[in-house]
Structure 1
């Protein structure tokens, strides 16, 4: 009888072990890859290092730090993240300079080598970048991903021709058109809320629009045959209105400065309750939330090898 009980206990013991193992696997699979608090640290550090230079990829910084911290992101801090991010910026001594920049961006592998990571550590870093493929500060649905991907090729071309960063172009289109869902955008292909002045020779439409904090007025807007026409005209609009040049829009080389100069130039009258212009802040926020600055990074890292699959 005692032997029978022992025999019954053995399979029961293994069943319990299997159950515990299954629960652990479920917990591990649902565990957050990178907490938003840590993500904000890597974004902030990367942007600080990128100021007046080129855009550092915050996911690369996080991946290298994940190895150092053994994925314990409770220990992540801005100083260490900034120190890692600085390694991605190097002086460009070659004659083949991207937009006359004296800087160049190093790859993830180059920085890992620079920091003396072992082969195993480099594999861990690259694997972690893969885990961050769909990591954003906010929940991003397929519609918005599609909107970004649709606009990216033309936004990249605008950057080449007009010095307007892709993140800025896509960010403004997202803000002004409510991700292409506004009537002005969906019916009339006006992605940027550009109004029609006397110099405009194309079609127009009158629609209600918000001004300042909560004011609503009727205004006349430009109508375009396609979204591409809207994008092209947006670039020409900024180029041909001297207030954007005077406020340093085309001299700004990072998205935070360019957003601020566009806001300062008066692109939008959007205000908060206190009457402060908040357009630049809204533009910076949407760029960070949807990883639009990573498009800047990819373009700047390898401008002549552009692939629409860079959107992640």
Structure 2
């Protein structure tokens, strides 16, 4: 009798431990098993020229569906999940909200809660997690100019990801002399149409050619961000090359390059500006800001 009681107790203890371990294994998304580059690439492929889908939403849904076993997820599974967020509309495409997608998948309240928990856990996670920490200089710079970049999009249709990436690239994270002293985040030159203050500085026009040129001076960074968009709108070549018709950042980055925004080349003589913007946007999850504003549109 004692042996039987002992066995029952042991089984009960085993089941309890199993359930506890299982619960904790589901409570936290397994970041070490997330192939971030793969998710970003495939989700952006689905999004391109339509609307920007949030890759963190996709991985969180898949993690819940597969009970956190997210290694070796197929490309088709990732793409199919991303496509749930895209819906045709009278004006082309619209972005489905997370709640709508979870309802479409018939997720229980508990599963919905877990998806949102996973998304929260991924807030400062990406291709370079150590640079995405809340107190990093990179995150702080992005947050500093994010709101103004969103305002610009609403007025001029320059995607926030593009505005922020250009500011990062042109100002070296706001640390260039042009940015720190003169509040010019984008390296915009003072041509004959500019009636404001300007400064003459040395710059590289091509890969290794140094010249002197005039650059615009602003009273603050917000003024620089607004003038950046206005500069693009006022120059017809950007409209000609489809900059303002672009739906996602990849399309807009190449439109800017093709319109001649930058003459930057790599050491083999190939234009590199669009590639540089795309790499920055993916590295710092800037495309997710585009996704946020599309949901709120």
TM-score, with structure 1 as normaliser:
0.81
The answer for the alignment partner of 1:75 in structure 2 is: 72
Equivalents in 2 of 1:283, 1:35: separation in Å? 27
The answer for the alignment partner of 1:64 in structure 2 is: 61
8 Å Cα contact 2:29/2:63 also seen in 1:
no
Report how many residues are paired: 268
Tell me: CA distance 1:35–1:228, structure 2 relative to 1, closer, same or farther (3 Å).
Answer: same
Aligned counterpart in structure 2 of residue 279 of structure 1, from 273, 280, 291: 273
The answer for the alignment partner of 2:111 in structure 1 is: 121
What secondary structure does 1:91 align onto?
strand
8 Å Cα contact 1:59/1:129 also seen in 2:
yes
Q: Which residues in structure 2 correspond to 1:133-152 (within 5 Å)?
A: 133-138=123-128, 139-140=130-131, 142-152=136-146
The answer for the alignment partner of 2:7 in structure 1 is: none
What secondary structure does 2:244 align onto?
coil
8 Å Cα contact 1:41/1:81 also seen in 2:
no
With 161-170 and 102-111 compared, the bigger mean Cα shift is at 102-111
The answer for the alignment partner of 1:309 in structure 2 is: none
The answer for the alignment partner of 1:98 in structure 2 is: none
The answer for the alignment partner of 1:172 in structure 2 is: 166
Equivalents in 1 of 2:153, 2:287: separation in Å? 13
The answer for the alignment partner of 1:230 in structure 2 is: 224
Q: Which residues in structure 2 correspond to 1:1-312 (within 5 Å)?
A: 33-35=30-32, 38-92=35-89, 101-138=91-128, 139-140=130-131, 142-303=136-297
4+ aligned runs moved over 4 Å, structure 1: none
Deviation at 1:122, TM superposition (A): 2.2
Q: Which runs of 5+ in 1 are unaligned?
A: 1-23, 94-100, 304-312
What secondary structure does 1:104 align onto?
strand
User: Deviations 1:118-170 (Å, cap 9, x if unpaired)?
Assistant: 33322222211111011121232522212111211111111111111111111
What secondary structure does 1:73 align onto?
coil
Equivalents in 1 of 2:32, 2:166: separation in Å? 27
Equivalents in 1 of 2:201, 2:170: separation in Å? 14
Equivalents in 2 of 1:130, 1:227: separation in Å? 30
User: Deviations 1:147-196 (Å, cap 9, x if unpaired)?
Assistant: 11121111111111111111111110111001100000000000000111
Deviation at 1:295, TM superposition (A): 0.7
8 Å Cα contact 1:209/1:219 also seen in 2:
yes
TM-score, with structure 2 as normaliser:
0.85
With 136-145 and 46-55 compared, the bigger mean Cα shift is at 136-145
Deviation at 1:32, TM superposition (A): 8.6
Deviation at 1:72, TM superposition (A): 2.6
User: Deviations 1:176-226 (Å, cap 9, x if unpaired)?
Assistant: 001100000000000000111122111111111122222222211111111
What secondary structure does 2:94 align onto?
strand
